[in-house]
Amino acid sequence: MPKIKPNKKEINLNLFKTVDLIRSAEKGITKYYHEDDMKTPMHMSMGEEAITAGVCHALNSKDQVFGYYRSHALYISKAHEVRSFFGEMYGKETGCVRGRGGSMHLANPNAGLMMISAIVSSTIAPAVGASFANKVKRNGKIVAVFFGDGAVEEGVFFESLNFACLMKLPIIFVCQDNELAVDVLAKERQGFKSIPDIVKSFDCNFISSQSTDAEEIYELTNKALDLIKKNKKPAFMHLKYYRMLQHIGVISDFDKDSPRPKGGFERENYRSKKEYDEWFKKDPLKVLKNKLLKLGVSEEKVSQIEKENYLEVEESIKLAKEAPFPKKSELFDYIYAKE
């Protein structure tokens, strides 16, 4: 059966629900992180939500995504839930990987979120492997693998892209380019002209955007999916965004009230307040909210979605705090080898 395309208002409402849930969840993290009960480093997604929400809305629920340590937004865009998300943040048995993983090792295979990892570039090869398996099985599943611009500087990226192009795999490479690896700018790291220049020399479909409008990313992903279907070549989406917070942790570089954490990663003044202000005007959440109002959605409806998301986040945090830790006797369960 051909997919019936939802109308513009419906698409934007669904995207707003997702993007607002992601933002609410991260605001929840920000609110409670100082209590020190979430024993996991946080690589926050604020700023990248349009990318994950847009791509995942275009995928089917059976399609598979692979992420990296900055994947709160990806998790919520694909799994549409925050109960086991917060269970995981608190290291509890109710977490999506039963409290073993934390923020950098989320997974939810039933929802198609296969793995994320703390090692730069490390999920790209498994994603290509999964896509190869899907092709052999002819099960129609698409893989989307998300990674930062820093991942392009790793050898495994080239091998994986090469193999995917050679084997004509049904996979979308989603490069989330914030032009930073921690506090090192792209021009200080890259011995090549640009990421598009590299990728265009491979035999794949190439799409790029700087948009923070999730609907635009959704439409571009549909285009990528059509191209994969038509010419059987993988797609590469090069998508720019601004990382709103510091590399790790819950404050921005420009928070006047929150002092920079001692032993923080970033150099002073590695990016400008002007750039921050410019991107902030294009905050993915603001973009969607303004669009909904222009499309005739009432302020009450928008506030109702925001309230529902807020309450769901607060309830999920409460349940996570009350939930049990994994049992000590199960410490060595779910690992490859035991002594």
Q: Please give the full DSSP string across 7-48, using - where no structure is assigned.
A: PHHHHHHHHHHHHHHHHHHHHHHHHHGGGS-S-S-----TT-
Binding-site partner at residue 182 among Mg ion, ligand TPP, none, CB < 5 to 8 Å by type? ligand TPP
Residue 52 in the binding site for Mg ion (CB under 5 A):
no
- The whole-angstrom separation of Cα 101 and Cα 105 is 5
Which two three-digit tokens encode residue 69? 């340590």
Cβ 326 to ligand TPP shortest distance, Å: 25
Cβ 237 to ligand TPP shortest distance, Å: 15
Cβ 300 to ligand TPP shortest distance, Å: 36
Helices (H), the chain: 8-32, 49-58, 72-79, 83-89, 124-137, 155-166, 186-189, 195-200, 214-231, 273-280, 284-294, 299-322
Among 149, 213, 266, 312, binds Mg ion (CB under 5 A): 149
- The whole-angstrom separation of Cα 202 and Cα 165 is 7
Among 65, 161, 180, 317, binds ligand TPP (CB under 6 A): 180
- The whole-angstrom separation of Cα 143 and Cα 127 is 7
Residue 70 in the binding site for ligand TPP (CB under 6 A):
yes
Of residues 119 through 178, those in contact with ligand TPP by CB under 6 A are 119-120, 148-151, 178
Of residues 288 through 307, those in contact with ligand TPP by CB under 6 A are none
C-beta closer to ligand TPP: residue 70 or 291: 70
What single-letter DSSP state applies at residue 185? Answer: E
Provide the β-strand partners of residue 185: 180
Residue 121 in the binding site for Mg ion (CB under 5 A):
no
Cβ 207 to Mg ion shortest distance, Å: 19
Nearest to 101 by CA among 122, 115, 81, 121: 115
- x/- site string to ligand TPP, residues 5 to 44, per CB under 6 A? ----------------------------------------
Q: Using an 8 Å Cβ cutoff, are 21 and 75 in contact?
A: no
CB atoms within 10 A of CB 331: 10
Half-sphere exposure of 158 (CA within 13 A, CB side): 6
Residue 67 in the binding site for ligand TPP (CB under 6 A):
no
C-beta closer to ligand TPP: residue 119 or 293: 119
Among 45, 178, 212, 309, binds Mg ion (CB under 5 A): 178
Residue 181 in the binding site for ligand TPP (CB under 6 A):
yes
Residues that bind ligand TPP (CB under 6 A): 70, 118-120, 148-151, 178, 180-182, 247
Residues that bind Mg ion (CB under 5 A): 148-150, 178, 180
